[in-house]
Structure 1
């Protein structure tokens, strides 16, 4: 089917169960799961469990949507896809085809971006205290390098001098909101660095300023961006007229579930809802703002006598750089597992433990010491027709409470600590689909633990009206 700017589908209220966090579904993903289940089952059987399905067309749709949000806000912004959010090559190829850039933090990512067709001048290099080899590669290809310290600036200038080139530089600066960040220059160091950029102008071209900010507050990001505009103006007065870029980083949120469901969950959440009475202290804001809402809020924030950030940037000739990862991957992939065993403890513990073929290393929220909260979908295997009939006969109010475990020997290997109210008993051979996992979940924490092979990624192109989906392995 053709992908369009449709509202994400919401399940009918009657289908929801207590404490459910039913994930939002892009219409194209919904159609793929409904109409092409045999294809997905064949891919899981042939390529192994778990299997990551990546959908570059939805990535491309997200790029267009984000571009439109900045345009409507009245600002000019260069979009750099934060490659750390997913290792799949197909997203880089999509970025190249749409003319956006890529943000990288190391030489392997830089090489992948160049090999994917992204020209060097559209690549940002933002890793802390980069080594000389990465500097040399970045300078050779004309990348925009975010410098973290005065010593790194001196090293980069020496590399550029040897290459007889001029390095394009952003000075990454600590903000007044988060002055204790391990990333970036202090106020005193920034003052020295701006002076050095003037002294080393033959080898360094100061393009602007960037910052690292934890969290998803639009007001805090706008305040930090306003500080960077001030730094650009100061740098211009001190002899760096090309200081015209403000890199606001990433931090554009994704909405995974309806706001109402999320609010209900936060009110009712307690350790009894988790295996082993697990007590998590922090969660991603699964039901908060989406990326376009955040962009509007950031750019509309009053920062200068009541004027908006967008208006101030336009007045001073400032161009923004943004580095979204998760936001561009919203709905652009999902992860499938095969159920390996079901330990039904309802008679003793009140819930079952579903063990899947694979591990939680391929669903990486534990990297953040948290739980991936959107409910997985339960799909029958090819032989699961009787299970579907059983579910229908059981009625809409029946639920099979279960958490989901990986098949390693680690007690902590839990894909979902929270007890899910599955619509029917889970059976060996069933498939669990974790939706919207392309942003950080798929491979941030992957590991060949127990000598297990890393999961494969199947790239599916959805095609036009009436066309069947086409697939290939990523990287081929």
Structure 2
């Protein structure tokens, strides 16, 4: 078989990550050997930088915005601790996440509770701690009001509403249901405080998100006219993109991409936009988007006293973690298939893009030392389970030298929705550990500890 020369899709790298990989390889190797493969390295310092970057983007747009870290994007406790220290809220979708957020120091009034048709136990916990609950249906609104009445407390509510562009979504209230829900909030004002509106939106279109946010502003104005005077919040959700690779490189990849570049001629229909906008760029575009003629979304919100809430997950985790694997075996098929299969200790469940029937495309790094070869070593990367589909990387990677048993691979920028979204104790394997690293001022070696300890 004729060999396919792999396309190099080099991952962008934060300076802190570059320093760790260049100057502290022995530490990383010791951690991998001692704590097991795969090992997730999490970097709360970079999370904290990302919070500052988003805050700056909103401030430059001249709007007031509350940030809620979407807990589902990563289970590590260290990010919640950082959020609490920075005065950032947390978005949760279940009682375990809510308990983790509270235990991490985030006060209830900074916690948003989303998810469809939440159960009574979650309602009770949310009401007790003054959380902001995004209600998805009239039946849920009635149940929440009953819970608040029994507790003698006020239920703080957002009405999650379907947008004109996603009328068929399974999430949120239809137009008729929203009208009825606003009336019910006014009727139940002794127990329910309608604070505003939210929506669910797929994809990364800034124009679509701005248009949806504008619809929610109009809903706030309508609710105020009907007596819900506290309706002043528009939650624009998450969906802020992360740039993993240089945009020009990404465009070149898309032009050349074909099934022969993947193990078994695998064909993927859709990829994350790895070379798209950064999150701060997206925020600026959303806030500057023209609505109702020439005014920007930000200007309209300011004129009507509307403040925004945003729920970034991946965007706050950009560059805030990476994943290490130890190579367990190399099956060199270059003479027959034109590439090798590198099997690592662990599985693709720890790199979760297959959840979306896709492939995690940024090139992994071969961390172990060795001379660069004259030609690249083409290989895909497989997990060590018994599943034929257990490919950590389906795409053939051009490694700079032959990969050997015992080598270490690094997958960069995996903290957001990659390193633990799909993990399970398959084959009775223990869940991978997370090592929290802080570089500090760089004068000494990095400090580290296991997450949760």
**Both proteins in one fold, TM over 0.5:** yes
State the Cα distance separating 1:75 from its structure 2 match: 0.6
1:277-426 equivalences under 5 Å are 277-380=265-368, 384=369, 388-389=370-371, 391=372, 394-395=373-374, 398-426=375-403
Which of 68, 73, 87 is the matching residue for 1:85? 73
- Cα contact 2:6–2:396 (8 A) shared by 1: no
- Cα contact 2:359–2:393 (8 A) shared by 1: yes
In structure 2, distance between residues paired with 1:233 and 1:402? 57
- Cα contact 2:159–2:178 (8 A) shared by 1: yes
Partner of 2:180: 192
Aligned in 2, Cα 1:44/1:342: closer, same or farther, shift over 3 Å? Answer: same
Secondary structure class of the residue paired with 1:209: strand
In structure 2, distance between residues paired with 1:179 and 1:19? 40
State the Cα distance separating 1:409 from its structure 2 match: 0.3
In structure 2, distance between residues paired with 1:81 and 1:415? 27
In structure 2, distance between residues paired with 1:321 and 1:128? 19
In structure 2, distance between residues paired with 1:38 and 1:26? 19
1:20-59 equivalences under 5 Å are 20-59=8-47
Partner of 1:259: 247
Which of 133, 143, 148 is the matching residue for 1:145? 133
Deviation >6 Å, runs of 4+:
none
In structure 1, distance between residues paired with 2:189 and 2:257? 56
Matched, 1:67 2:44: no
In structure 2, distance between residues paired with 1:443 and 1:28? 22
In structure 1, distance between residues paired with 2:447 and 2:74? 21
Secondary structure class of the residue paired with 2:436: strand
State the Cα distance separating 1:275 from its structure 2 match: 0.2
In structure 1, distance between residues paired with 2:207 and 2:39? 38
**Alignment TM-score, normalising by the size of structure 2:** 0.98
- Cα contact 2:366–2:407 (8 A) shared by 1: yes
**Alignment TM-score, normalising by the size of structure 1:** 0.94
Partner of 2:407: 430
In structure 2, distance between residues paired with 1:73 and 1:304? 18
Partner of 2:204: 216
Which of 415, 425, 429 is the matching residue for 1:448? 425
In structure 1, distance between residues paired with 2:293 and 2:12? 39
In structure 1, distance between residues paired with 2:366 and 2:339? 16
Secondary structure class of the residue paired with 1:472: strand
Secondary structure class of the residue paired with 2:444: coil
1:260-304 deviation line (CA, Å, top 9, x unaligned): 110001000000000010000000000001101100100000012
State the Cα distance separating 1:166 from its structure 2 match: 0.7
In structure 1, distance between residues paired with 2:419 and 2:378? 25
Partner of 2:435: 458
Aligned residue-pair number:
449
State the Cα distance separating 1:465 from its structure 2 match: 3.5
In structure 2, distance between residues paired with 1:226 and 1:177? 12
Matched, 1:165 2:153: yes
In structure 1, distance between residues paired with 2:282 and 2:76? 26
State the Cα distance separating 1:127 from its structure 2 match: 1.2
In structure 2, distance between residues paired with 1:181 and 1:462? 44
1:88-131 deviation line (CA, Å, top 9, x unaligned): 00000000000010000000000000000000000000011000
In structure 2, distance between residues paired with 1:294 and 1:417? 30
Structure 2, unaligned runs of 5 or more: none
State the Cα distance separating 1:467 from its structure 2 match: 2.2
RMSD (CA atoms): 0.7
State the Cα distance separating 1:306 from its structure 2 match: 1.1
Partner of 1:240: 228
Secondary structure class of the residue paired with 1:304: coil
Which deviates the most, 460-469 or 84-93? 460-469
- Cα contact 2:6–2:397 (8 A) shared by 1: no
- Cα contact 2:63–2:307 (8 A) shared by 1: yes
In structure 2, distance between residues paired with 1:160 and 1:222? 33
Secondary structure class of the residue paired with 1:354: strand
In structure 1, distance between residues paired with 2:241 and 2:137? 29
1:298-355 deviation line (CA, Å, top 9, x unaligned): 0000012211000000000000000000000000000000000000000000000000
Partner of 1:9: none
Aligned in 2, Cα 1:44/1:465: closer, same or farther, shift over 3 Å? Answer: closer
